[in-house]
Amino acid sequence: MTKHKPLFHNQQKFMAFSLFCSSTLALLMSGCGSTLTSETKLRVRILGSLTQPTGATGTKSPMAQVYLFNNVSLQPADGSAAVDMYSGDPEELRIVSRPQEVWSTTDLTDYEDVSFSSATVKFDPLVVVIDQAGEEHSITLDTGDLVMSEPFSLTAGTEKVITVRASWGKTITPSDDTTPETTVSAPSFTLFLGETE
């Protein structure tokens, strides 16, 4: 008569199988579009987009742009004074076509479950545009205060993400025989809110 080994014939294999199941479950949950966290978090990220802004007439797109980040301000829905979330020194950011973090905080205990009507991400209006040849060109935005008007609240244990998309496609007109200087149009900006990815 043939003897069959038990499915888990020793404790070591059982522990290994349990670890595999736990790891697999964690991976499946991490792919469901949310992150399990006990912290309340708010962060801002920015990226460049090759979408051409309305009114731009250039033929080339930047390789990168350099911004000076100053602050994030939240406007309570009850009309009380705006809350400045950042008190550090201005930070220089080199922006490319993939998302990068501008700022984040978990110091939100006083603002959990508070409703906000808008958020403003504040940059210096002076922006340095870097073309594909590595040359730098300065432009001045009409305003560096970029407003997201979507209402939101900072629910305990969740992470909110404000994304700034700078549309800068074909905003550069290179110099040539008829145009003595390179000209650069300002990008347009779109801000939107999401949960953590």
Is residue 18 situated within a structural domain? no
Could you read off the pLDDT of 166-196 as tens digits, one per residue? 999 999 999 988 888 999 999 999 999 987 6
Give the CATH number of the domain where residue 60 resides: 2.60.40
Is residue 26 situated within a structural domain? no
The H-or-E segment that residue 68 falls in is strand 64-76
Could you read off the pLDDT of 112-166 as tens digits, one per residue? 999 999 999 999 999 999 999 999 999 999 999 999 999 999 999 999 999 999 9
Could you read off the pLDDT of 16-67 as tens digits, one per residue? 555 554 544 444 443 333 344 578 999 999 999 999 999 999 999 999 999 9
pLDDT of residue 25: 46
Is residue 161 situated within a structural domain? yes
Is residue 15 situated within a structural domain? no
Q: Over 50: is that where the pLDDT of 108 sits? A: yes
Give me the number of domains the chain comprises: 1
Which residues lie closer than 8 Å to 102 by C-beta, 6 or more apart?
43, 44, 45, 46, 69, 91, 93, 121, 164
Cβ(42)–Cβ(104) below 8 Å: yes
pLDDT of residue 106: 94
Cβ(54)–Cβ(68) below 8 Å: no
pLDDT of residue 35: 46
Q: Using CA atoms, how far apart are residues 124 and 150, in angstroms rounded to an integer?
A: 23
Closest among 106, 73, 111, 69 to 90, alpha carbons compared: 69
Is residue 2 situated within a structural domain? no
Binned at pLDDT 50, 70 and 90, residue 197 comes out as very low
Is residue 17 situated within a structural domain? no
Is residue 124 situated within a structural domain? yes
pLDDT of residue 178: 84
Distances (CA, A) of 67 to 26, 35, 115, 141: 38, 29, 29, 11
The parent domain of residue 59 ranges over: 37-195
pTM: 0.79
Query: DSSP assignment, residue 96?
Result: -
Closest among 69, 77, 101, 96 to 166, alpha carbons compared: 96
